[in-house]
């Protein structure tokens, strides 16, 4: 069970406040999309959930546990970035297994988890390839695979599709949705693309200048008169 609760979170850089008391309660297994114009604080909020950015005040809890002072590794989250960050000198399998390698997981467990993730993502035939031998969509899948092998309760996505061409972006939306259905994990997903938000979200959080402007289902936010 991993609901994510953001309680009156503020953030300042020096004496410049950029987030002014943001509160959002995300249910276990919910797919929540953060949208809003560039600079409104989406990425900062995501990074605070991930533990990559300090919170100036307020509380973030994951699975009912306050994580304010926990390092990223102890948070049961995994973050997928837009620039893939794959290691060029490692195969797909090695890239996917890397966090398990760091954690000194036994070879058998690594093999099993990589095989499972590869099956989910349709990467079974590509495990021996290097990133340069992959298409953009395949690289994105490997990046997701690296997260999936860790079996986190919460996935954080930071504009994962913005480097892909339009056609691939549409296909990957559907893939991420079906991944969500299959894994049942909580997802917090940042995008500046309203169509992406509409088609993927259970609920959308609209941010504006460091505040939450609206929260609701796609229907509530966009289809009401």
Point out which residues bind ligand ADP (CB under 6 A).
Answer: 13, 18, 36, 38-44, 91, 93-94, 97, 107, 110-111, 114-115, 127
Q: Which residue is nearest to ligand ADP (CB)?
A: 43
Closest contact distance (angstroms) between CB of 179 and ligand ADP is 18
| 141 closest CA partner among 108, 111, 175 | 175
Closest contact distance (angstroms) between CB of 37 and ligand ADP is 7
Distance CA 2, CA 185 (A): 8
- 93 or 172: whose CB is closer to ligand ADP? 93
Distance CA 36, CA 182 (A): 28
Closest contact distance (angstroms) between CB of 111 and ligand ADP is 4
Instruction: Let me know: does 33 contact 26? Beta carbons within 8 Å.
Output: no
- 44 or 153: whose CB is closer to ligand ADP? 44
Distance CA 106, CA 101 (A): 8
Closest contact distance (angstroms) between CB of 172 and ligand ADP is 20
Distance CA 126, CA 30 (A): 31
Do you know the residue count of the chain?
Answer: 225
- 17 or 74: whose CB is closer to ligand ADP? 17
- 66 or 209: whose CB is closer to ligand ADP? 209
């Amino acid at each position: 069970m991993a609901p994510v609760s953001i309680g009156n979170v503020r953030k300042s850089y020096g004496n410049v406040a950029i987030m002014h008391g943001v509160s959002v309660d995300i249910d276990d297994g919910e797919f929540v999309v953060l949208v809003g114009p560039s600079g409104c604080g989406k990425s900062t909020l995501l990074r605070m959930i991930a533990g990559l950015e300090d919170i100036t005040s307020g509380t973030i809890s994951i699975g009912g546990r306050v994580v304010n002072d926990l390092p990223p590794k102890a948070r049961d989250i995994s973050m997928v970035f837009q620039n893939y960050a794959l290691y060029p000198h490692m195969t797909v399998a090695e890239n996917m297994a890397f966090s398990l390698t760091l954690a000194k997981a036994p070879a058998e467990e690594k093999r099993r988890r990589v095989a499972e993730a590869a099956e989910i993502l349709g990467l079974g035939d590509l495990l021996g390839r290097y990133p340069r031998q992959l298409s953009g969509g395949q690289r994105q899948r490997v990046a997701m695979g690296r997260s999936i092998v860790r079996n986190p309760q919460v996935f954080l996505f930071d504009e994962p599709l913005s480097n892909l061409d339009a056609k691939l972006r549409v296909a990957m939306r559907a893939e991420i949705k079906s991944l969500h259905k299959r894994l049942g994990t909580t997802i917090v997903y940042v995008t500046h693309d309203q169509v992406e938000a509409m088609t993927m979200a259970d609920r959308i959080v609209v941010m504006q200048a460091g505040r939450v402007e609206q929260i609701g289902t796609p229907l509530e936010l966009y289809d009401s008169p």
